[in-house]
Amino acid sequence: MKVKKEIIRYLIVTPFVGAADFGIYFLLIRFLPNSVSKGISYIIANGADYLLNKYWIFKRKQKQAAAPEVGRYFILDVVLFVCNVGINQLSLYVWPHAVFLALAIASAVTALLSFIFKKWWVFKTSSA
């Protein structure tokens, strides 16, 4: 039952974080270069994602971020980024004109891997 609640909360947070990233980027590109805007929006969205995952989705109680946990989160983020881009490219290799399908496949696989590794590696507890 606990995992089911975590999955539901994860399915709420993930689109919210994506929308925040997009919204911040869209606002900033009017004032800053695209790459700077994207960097800022990504960092803010990832910070929100970390906090929402830790305190709401996986209900970790410690208020202060432990260095190993933050390190695992960062490592996972880099690995998921590489996976997302790689899966997108592989999908486009198989279906060259299916851009939306490639995006959907890459996003779905990345979201699944993200939940699994955040639950059992990044925000692990001795009882999990």
d(CA 30, CA 14) in angstroms, rounded, equals: 25
22-56 pLDDT, tens per residue?
A: 899 899 999 999 889 888 998 999 999 999 999 99
pLDDT at 61 (0 to 100): 77
50-106 pLDDT, tens per residue?
A: 999 999 999 887 766 688 898 999 999 999 999 998 998 999 999 999 988 998 999
pLDDT at 24 (0 to 100): 93
User: Residues 6 or more apart from 4 whose CB is under 8 A from it?
Assistant: none
pLDDT at 64 (0 to 100): 63
Task: Give the start-to-end residue ranges of the domains of the chain.
Answer: 1-59, 62-128
pLDDT at 87 (0 to 100): 93
Angle between helical axes of 67-94 and 99-117 (0-180°, round to 10) = 150
User: Residues 6 or more apart from 121 whose CB is under 8 A from it?
Assistant: 72, 76
83 contacts 59 by C-beta, under 8 angstroms: no
pLDDT at 63 (0 to 100): 66
pTM to 2 decimal places: 0.80
d(CA 3, CA 85) in angstroms, rounded, equals: 28
**Above 50 in pLDDT, residue 128?**
no
